[in-house]
Structure 1
């Protein structure tokens, strides 16, 4: 089909002050887009505005490549294929759609449910990036809770405790435009959060002397340590446990107390009170208080008048000789059967078998422990006080078993000791006759032994202290009288017993064997039989007699050398051998005995 083609249409013409006008557009299958038809003639403006209000559009090549705008249609073939034309309203400005929220704008949560996390989703026709912002004029402090919103659309909301109702939060869906020539658009939405009311269970508490004794986790048992009550350890008994327990309810419903019975004791519970307690101050005598007070008010989420209350006083009394773990469980319900956390009080009844002693750990467990309530012998022992013994310190030590008292006194056992006192049958401690005689004999015997010992010691001391030419010898040694004599004799140079010039008088020699051998080695030994089997003592005697003045002695050949030696000693009174006055008779008797032996 030859061309170009002129097409005239009626309708709104393009004007400078108008945002839109009527125009012919055609579909270019090669470019895959709609094209304004009056722009198909190789850069020539093909729009003509007629006076009658119509418009004429010059249409040339409807399949022109977008990049081949310089292509010329010299062959005269303009419409060789089918072309689709449409009369459309053309907007002069670029179209930009507003974001649309896809996720729900109403949220529902329960009271005290915690924090809700909500992710918002929005759509933009041009696939532009969308940011989520709270309206700048919105005051977040006006809501009953805390809220956080990120630019990516994540919302976190935490309502206040026990708060209910509806919260409306204005949020802006802001488009982020990449093309600066295009004005970004936004959409304002309202997010509604509905916090549904829910019946809260009562909140339990327990105080003692005005102070809260519950743990941060109220389900954890409250441990109460009590000593086992035995007949023998009354001074160790623990005082009765007493505490105030109860609950409060935010819905102000009626409250009811339920308490379980223990197995190793009994409990007494006072009548429950429902009045609002005075939590600000405690009475002067806190051990007498039966109501919560003091720092207990720090744990309340709201004012005390906002709750309904119930509280009572609990007292526990343990049974005699009972040990182990005893439990008391308490819970409180409201009129809608909402039940509080179960409050557990664990009474630890610690075994106390030590009658006269104290507990001492065998392991790493202290004596104040739940292990002592289970098995004392496995983990502990008894350390007895002085005067007692036994596994459980039940046996008193009898100090009188060793009979420490001297008669006539009797021994009386006391704790960790004894007393010597007159017996009951003899209160004046009168000694009997045989006892007096026995005592006198014992004293006399002791005196005699002491005197005899002094006499012997004196005698030996005098002998050992005899002066030897100004030289002192060891008088403390155990030398015999004969050995002492030999030393004395050797020290006397005026005794003609041998040629002393050849006698070895070294100070290191001692004993009669050495002295005798020294005399044997003298020059005069040549006159004696050195091959004989005489003892050193006999040889010494012969040497001594050979050098003496023989006119004073009996030279009878029948007298032995030993007898002649004894006679010589008697003749020399200047030799300190012994008490010669007392020993003369002994010496003569010895000589006579020796002579008689020779005669025989």
Structure 2
């Protein structure tokens, strides 16, 4: 475009007579658009057990377009699952005790508001290096495959045991047994068990084992042994063969006639001086002064049950002995004398038992309850008279029922015709007459 001068009739007289401004423009057929680029490092170093990585991403676009950030939805990851906002905030949490290199592809995409230009994208790769740190051993304590540790493993574990005395053997607690151990994710570490000395018993252990255990699902509770290895994987996020192990069986043998609270602290340390949680086992040895199967009972108004730490140090203040039948005394130490009321008649002597008594002859006269000889003679005479009476009645009954009985019998025995008697008027005869006839017949039968 030129600024020229012309005459009134439209004729141009002089070109470039004055200062003139020119404009030159280069026009392309296609519109220019460049893909976005990541503004920042792609190599990131992150320590294990450090938590969650929060890394803001920035991008540059030559045309000033807005850039959005995306992850490839089909990508798989080895140590954790990242998340990414469209604004570019990357969150990444590696798995526990996992170390190594994680590569995360990130898509940078232009946000075009118009339809005449297609948005461009760029894929960049973030290299996250999760570095190793020294991990402490993880301690466990189990019975029947179940953990004895609470959510806070440093909280004391309370074990109630009955005091061992000569008079309460039936109430003794069985030997306390558990499985104690630890693992360390650094397989090259050597683990060492450290325990505190006990006061009222002996803490024994079986031989230590460093072999990776075969961790399987436990059988039903009723089928488990007390020293079965812990169920599940104990929170280990790798194969057992890739960790260091130390475990053994733990026994507590209490002393005789000792009561109180025996507190034992246990922890496991590796060769890098990293230590596990310190676990505390409180063996509460309960006072048990009751004799003869006496049972502990709280006194009226006592707020403490018999299985309480108070019973380890003070029995008579809060508890009493409930005695079995036949026993009495503060600690059921006295056998009640059931013979005190003289329950036995003469000539027997009373012998006291446990909630019972027996009446028997004295040892000096073991036959004190035998009958005198004249009693036996009297019994024999009475028996003979009774037999004679029975035979007489039987004979009379036979004669009455069958008048031929006597003659048949005599015929069979003597082979002669018996003499017949007339018994038609037998009912009117006197007893003396019948007795005479019976006597005569007995004589005849005899001869």
> Which TM-score band applies after superposition, normalised by the shorter structure?
0.5 to 0.7
Residue 214 and residue 183 in structure 1: after superposition, are their counterparts in 2 closer, same or farther (change >3 A)?
Answer: same
Residue 17 and residue 300 in structure 1: after superposition, are their counterparts in 2 closer, same or farther (change >3 A)?
Answer: closer
**Residue of structure 2 equivalent to 1:236:** 171
Equivalent residue of 2:241, what SS? helix
**Residue of structure 2 equivalent to 1:324:** 260
Equivalent residue of 1:142, what SS? coil
The structure with the largest helix share of the pair is 1
> Which whole-Å CA distance do the structure 2 matches of 1:379 and 1:124 have between them?
82
Equivalent residue of 2:20, what SS? strand
**Residue of structure 2 equivalent to 1:113:** 50
> Which whole-Å CA distance do the structure 1 matches of 2:120 and 2:272 have between them?
53
> Which whole-Å CA distance do the structure 2 matches of 1:128 and 1:381 have between them?
87
> Which whole-Å CA distance do the structure 1 matches of 2:203 and 2:254 have between them?
9
**Residue of structure 1 equivalent to 2:358:** 419
> Which whole-Å CA distance do the structure 2 matches of 1:15 and 1:100 have between them?
27
Equivalent residue of 1:167, what SS? strand
Equivalent residue of 1:141, what SS? coil
1:270 partnered with 2:283: no
Are 2:177 and 2:226, in contact at CA under 8 Å, matched by a contact in 1?
no
1:393 partnered with 2:332: yes
Equivalent residue of 2:249, what SS? strand
| Residue 385 of structure 1: how far off its partner (Å) | 0.8
Residue 202 and residue 395 in structure 1: after superposition, are their counterparts in 2 closer, same or farther (change >3 A)?
Answer: same
Are 2:183 and 2:243, in contact at CA under 8 Å, matched by a contact in 1?
yes
Residue 181 and residue 275 in structure 1: after superposition, are their counterparts in 2 closer, same or farther (change >3 A)?
Answer: closer
**Residue of structure 1 equivalent to 2:321:** 382
> Which whole-Å CA distance do the structure 1 matches of 2:66 and 2:217 have between them?
60
**Residue of structure 1 equivalent to 2:271:** 335
> Which whole-Å CA distance do the structure 2 matches of 1:103 and 1:15 have between them?
35
Equivalent residue of 2:231, what SS? helix
1:163 partnered with 2:98: yes
| Residue 422 of structure 1: how far off its partner (Å) | 4.6
| Residue 318 of structure 1: how far off its partner (Å) | 0.5
Equivalent residue of 2:340, what SS? helix
| Residue 149 of structure 1: how far off its partner (Å) | 1.7
| Residue 411 of structure 1: how far off its partner (Å) | 3.8
* Bigger Rg, which one: 1
**Residue of structure 1 equivalent to 2:412:** none
Residue 16 and residue 317 in structure 1: after superposition, are their counterparts in 2 closer, same or farther (change >3 A)?
Answer: closer
**Residue of structure 2 equivalent to 1:24:** none
Give per-residue Cα distances to partners, 1:345-385, cap 9 Å, x unaligned. 33221222222311234567554444443544455432211
Give per-residue Cα distances to partners, 1:144-198, cap 9 Å, x unaligned. 2122222243332121232212223222333434455665555544333221111
Unaligned stretches of 5+ in structure 2? 6-17, 370-447
**Residue of structure 2 equivalent to 1:204:** 139
Equivalent residue of 2:76, what SS? helix
Residue 275 and residue 184 in structure 1: after superposition, are their counterparts in 2 closer, same or farther (change >3 A)?
Answer: closer
1:256 partnered with 2:192: yes
- Number of aligned residue pairs: give it: 348
> Which whole-Å CA distance do the structure 2 matches of 1:287 and 1:107 have between them?
49
Are 2:159 and 2:284, in contact at CA under 8 Å, matched by a contact in 1?
yes
Are 2:53 and 2:91, in contact at CA under 8 Å, matched by a contact in 1?
yes
1:373 partnered with 2:308: no
| Residue 322 of structure 1: how far off its partner (Å) | 1.6
**Residue of structure 1 equivalent to 2:238:** 302
> Which whole-Å CA distance do the structure 2 matches of 1:187 and 1:402 have between them?
109
Residue 104 and residue 380 in structure 1: after superposition, are their counterparts in 2 closer, same or farther (change >3 A)?
Answer: farther
What is the Cα-based RMSD across aligned positions, in Å?
4.0
Quick one: which of 68, 77, 81 aligns to 1:142?
Answer: 77
Are 1:228 and 1:350, in contact at CA under 8 Å, matched by a contact in 2?
yes
Quick one: which of 232, 246, 249 aligns to 2:181?
Answer: 246
Quick one: which of 114, 118, 130 aligns to 1:195?
Answer: 130
Give per-residue Cα distances to partners, 1:546-595, cap 9 Å, x unaligned. xxxxxxxxxxxxxxxxxxxxxxxxxxxxxxxxxxxxxxxxxxxxxxxxxx
**Residue of structure 2 equivalent to 1:344:** 280
1:133 partnered with 2:70: yes
> Which whole-Å CA distance do the structure 1 matches of 2:334 and 2:138 have between them?
54
Higher normalized contact order (CA 8 Å, seq sep 6+, divided by chain length): 2
Quick one: which of 165, 169, 173 aligns to 2:108?
Answer: 173
> Which whole-Å CA distance do the structure 2 matches of 1:124 and 1:372 have between them?
78
